[in-house]
């Protein structure tokens, strides 16, 4: 298990400081993957294949590649050109001719895959034990299930072998493993991440998911992975999310509708989670969970299971014994389903959705346990169908009803046989509210400050902040006469802009007092070798007024991207080098206010 902090911001900071190189990190990560004892991996890159990816980073840096040198894992039902795709079935394996669309986007952004991870065969299961490559072990206790079907993807992140991983989710496979391994599991809006190059489970419901240790990392990967794919017939273009109000409302199922399957410690942690949301500014509203649960039953107890057969029908019908017995039972059960049943289920689902949408409309989002309990591997192997079904109690309805969701760590059981095992909750909202949920998850993580996965490492205080969606606002960094109370601040306030953050830049900038004036103006220049942190403010400007604001900025100043102290980037004032003629460097003063106070201007 790594001793490094495997977050994007921490890795990029180490690259920028020269403490670490991509070759050092990726070589180290590949060695860890090869030595993994959790059965998280099915295959990994060779040293030669890794070298080819590293060569692709030459001439680049974190400044032009948002995922520069970031190691990631790929669930083995998602195509990676270098390695076979097995879907955890050796007889089904094939060699892809190209990367899956989402994998290609991530690599283009500088990320480097390490290999393919273990899963429940054909992504059918929430347990992580249905694999001929062995039962993937929980990152906290090897006797317990890792959760599935994205088992190895979650464990590889929780143990710090990679920074993030890709999973898939049809019925909870991108959320349950997150809960069982103390990490983030983002199941975004259906269709927002392309499924081109993914072995389908239920093609109309499948989602590619993201596992990380922080909401900030999930947001960074989401921004790249969510590129629209015109080839995927189920792909959907992004729709701006609505920001959650500071005083948000959240739905909580009625106590009698919650199921913990005898896990009293999990029940206690859930109600503690409700209190945490209240402490973050939320108001709890009781909602009726029953229609959600009834809709969920359609997925496995109705004809929707026939879509799993449709995904592999030729392979399955030629010789079903090539699949594990439990997969034969589940997929084979679809043979007796009729088309009439499918339409009846579709009509029932629409009726349920009308009711569940009305429940969700009462609040900004709903919170549930991600799973009501967790089981030992031996128990699941003895009762594979029922215990798996129990784990889907809160997850099976999500894609059927077209909601987005994020699974977040909530704490650790303090009593009982399962003491020390993690527990998590899921926040879900209407489609396209992904960015708003990510921001709530970030507030949550900062509040609880739980350790990262199973590494024991503290939640990094300098993790970039995940802001709520802008709701038609554009953030702009100011560093001079536009600061609060200074002569040009009216140009912001008259446009109904508001102060969002008082902060500082990264230690990578130099500041100059430009010639001329009044008004006297500073110039901000990026210099990663000799720069310092400069005091700044971030203002939110209504989008309809942003153009007129920028149009009034005189040369040599302009708007570009500026890095903040937390590693995030924002649009802000920068200066062209030609503007430094006759300028006085004032970097050592740390900001414009200190300069004008010293000069008494």
pLDDT tens by residue, 305-352: 888 888 888 898 889 899 888 888 888 877 888 888 888 889 999 999
For 472-523, how does the pLDDT look when each residue is reduced to its tens digit (9 = 90+)?
A: 778 899 999 999 989 999 999 999 888 888 889 999 999 999 988 788 889 9
Give the torsion sign (CA, 309, 312, 318, 320). Answer: negative
For 440-470, how does the pLDDT look when each residue is reduced to its tens digit (9 = 90+)?
A: 999 999 999 999 999 999 999 889 999 888 7
User: Across all residues in the chain, what is the average pLDDT?
Assistant: 94
Q: How far is CA 373 from CA 145, 213, 390, 391, 595, in A?
A: 11, 21, 8, 7, 59
Contact 419, 192 (CB under 8 A): no
Q: How far apart are CA 183 and CA 463, in angstroms?
A: 15
Spot the catalytic one: 43, 75, 146, 187.
Answer: 75
pLDDT of residue 223: 92
Q: Does residue 304 register a pLDDT over 80? A: no
pLDDT of residue 249: 97
Q: What is the mean pLDDT of residues 371-378?
A: 98
For 38-85, how does the pLDDT look when each residue is reduced to its tens digit (9 = 90+)?
A: 999 999 999 999 999 999 999 999 988 999 999 999 999 999 999 999
The proportion of the chain whose per-residue pLDDT surpasses 90, expressed as a percent, equals 77
**Residue 382: strand, helix, or coil:** helix
Q: How far apart are CA 206 and CA 222, in angstroms?
A: 16
* pLDDT band for position 133 (cuts 50, 70, 90): very high
Q: How far apart are CA 173 and CA 206, in angstroms?
A: 10
Q: How far apart are CA 492 and CA 541, in angstroms?
A: 7
Q: Which of 95-99, 275-279, 408-412, 539-543 has the lowest mean pLDDT?
A: 539-543
pLDDT of residue 2: 67
For 190-204, how does the pLDDT look when each residue is reduced to its tens digit (9 = 90+)?
A: 999 999 999 999 999
Spot the catalytic one: 9, 153, 165, 173.
Answer: 173
Q: What is the DSSP string of 433-475?
A: -HHHHHHHHHHHHHHH---STTS-PPPPTTPPP-PPP-SSEEE
Q: What is the mean pLDDT of residues 199-214?
A: 96
Burial, 37: exposed, middle or buried (Cβ in 10 Å; 0-12, 13-18, 19+)?
A: exposed
pLDDT of residue 555: 84
Q: How far is CA 597 from CA 106, 498, 591, 592, in A?
A: 47, 24, 10, 9
Q: Does residue 275 register a pLDDT over 70? A: yes
pLDDT of residue 245: 87
pLDDT of residue 262: 95
pTM: 0.81
Nearest CA to 159 out of 123, 198, 206, 213 is that of 213
Q: How far apart are CA 331 and CA 313, in angstroms?
A: 9
| β-pair type (71-75, 164-169) | parallel
Q: How far apart are CA 543 and CA 388, in angstroms?
A: 48
pLDDT of residue 1: 60
Nearest CA to 163 out of 96, 105, 230, 114 is that of 114
pLDDT of residue 326: 87
Give the torsion sign (CA, 436, 441, 442, 446). Answer: positive
Domains along the sequence of the chain with CATH: 8-448 (3.90.1300.10), 473-599 (3.10.490.10)
Contact 524, 562 (CB under 8 A): yes
Q: How far apart are CA 120 and CA 126, in angstroms?
A: 8
* pLDDT band for position 104 (cuts 50, 70, 90): very high
Q: Does residue 471 register a pLDDT over 80? A: no
pLDDT of residue 241: 85
Residue 298 sits at φ, ψ, to 5 deg, of -65, -25
503, two tokens: 């902060």
pLDDT of residue 417: 81
Q: How far apart are CA 331 and CA 316, in angstroms?
A: 8
Contact 303, 338 (CB under 8 A): yes
156 catalytic per annotation: no
75 catalytic per annotation: yes
* pLDDT band for position 239 (cuts 50, 70, 90): confident
Q: How far is CA 540 from CA 238, 490, 566, 571, in A?
A: 22, 14, 18, 11
153 catalytic per annotation: no
**Residue 420: strand, helix, or coil:** coil
Spot the catalytic one: 9, 131, 146, 149.
Answer: 149
pLDDT of residue 578: 84
- Comparing 371 with 332, the larger pLDDT belongs to 371
pLDDT of residue 92: 96
């Amino acid at each position: 298990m790594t001793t490094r902090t495997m977050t994007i911001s921490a890795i990029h900071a180490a690259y920028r400081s020269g403490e670490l190189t991509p070759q050092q990190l990726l070589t180290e990560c590949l060695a860890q993957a090869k030595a993994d004892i959790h059965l998280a991996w099915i295959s990994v890159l060779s040293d030669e294949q890794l070298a080819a990816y590293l060569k692709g980073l030459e001439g680049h840096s974190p400044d032009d590649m948002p995922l520069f040198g970031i190691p990631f894992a790929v669930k083995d039902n998602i195509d990676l050109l270098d390695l076979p795709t097995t879907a955890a079935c050796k007889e089904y394996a094939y060699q892809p001719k190209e990367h899956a669309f989402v994998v290609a986007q991530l690599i283009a952004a500088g990320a480097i895959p390490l290999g393919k991870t273990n899963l429940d065969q054909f992504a059918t299961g929430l347990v992580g034990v249905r694999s001929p490559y062995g039962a993937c072990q929980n990152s906290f206790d090897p006797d317990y299930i890792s959760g599935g079907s994205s088992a190895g993807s979650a464990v590889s992140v929780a143990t710090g072998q990679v920074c993030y991983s890709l999973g898939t989710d049809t019925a909870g496979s991108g959320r349950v493993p997150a809960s069982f391994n103390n990490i983030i599991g983002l199941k975004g809006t259906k269709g927002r991440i392309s499924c081109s190059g993914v072995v389908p489970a239920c093609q109309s419901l499948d989602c590619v998911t993201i596992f990380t240790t922080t909401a900030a990392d999930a947001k960074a990967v989401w921004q790249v992975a969510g590129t629209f794919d015109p080839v995927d017939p189920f792909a959907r273009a992004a729709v701006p999310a609505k920001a959650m109000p500071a005083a948000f409302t959240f739905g909580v199922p009625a106590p009698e509708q919650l199921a913990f399957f005898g896990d009293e410690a999990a029940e206690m942690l859930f109600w503690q989670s409700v209190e945490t949301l209240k402490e973050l500014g939320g108001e709890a509203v009781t909602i009726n969970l029953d229609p959600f649960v009834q809709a969920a039953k359609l997925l496995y107890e109705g004809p929707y299971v026939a879509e799993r057969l449709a995904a592999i029908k030729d392979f399955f019908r030629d010789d079903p014994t090539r699949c594990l017995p439990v997969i034969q039972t589940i997929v084979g059960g679809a043979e007796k389903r009729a088309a009439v049943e499918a339409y009846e289920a579709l009509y029932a689902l629409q009726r349920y959705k009308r009711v569940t949408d009305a429940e969700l409309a009462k609040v900004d989002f709903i919170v549930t346990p991600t799973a009501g309990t967790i089981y030992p591997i031996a128990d699941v192997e003895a009762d594979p169908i029922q215990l798996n079904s129990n784990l889907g109690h809160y997850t099976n309805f999500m894609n059927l009803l077209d909601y987005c969701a994020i699974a977040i760590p909530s704490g650790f059981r303090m009593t009982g046989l399962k003491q020390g095992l993690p527990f998590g909750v899921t926040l879900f909202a209407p489609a396209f509210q992904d960015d708003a949920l990510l921001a709530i998850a970030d507030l949550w993580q900062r509040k609880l400050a739980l350790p990262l996965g199973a590494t024991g490492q503290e939640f990094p205080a300098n993790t970039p902040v995940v802001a709520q969606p802008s709701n038609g606002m554009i953030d702009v960094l100011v560093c001079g006469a536009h600061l609060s109370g200074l002569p040009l601040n009216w140009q912001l306030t008259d446009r109904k802009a508001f102060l969002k953050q008082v902060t500082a830049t990264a230690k990578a900038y130099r500041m100059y007092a430009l010639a001329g004036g009044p008004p006297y103006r500073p110039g901000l220049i990026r210099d990663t070798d000799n720069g310092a942190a400069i005091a700044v403010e971030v203002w939110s400007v209504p989008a309809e007024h942003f153009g007129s604001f920028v149009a009034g900025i005189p040369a040599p100043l302009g708007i570009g991207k500026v890095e903040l102290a937390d590693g995030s980037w924002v649009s802000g004032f920068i200066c062209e080098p030609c503007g430094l003629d006759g300028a006085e460097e004032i970097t050592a003063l740390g900001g414009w206010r200190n300069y004008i106070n010293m000069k008494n201007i």
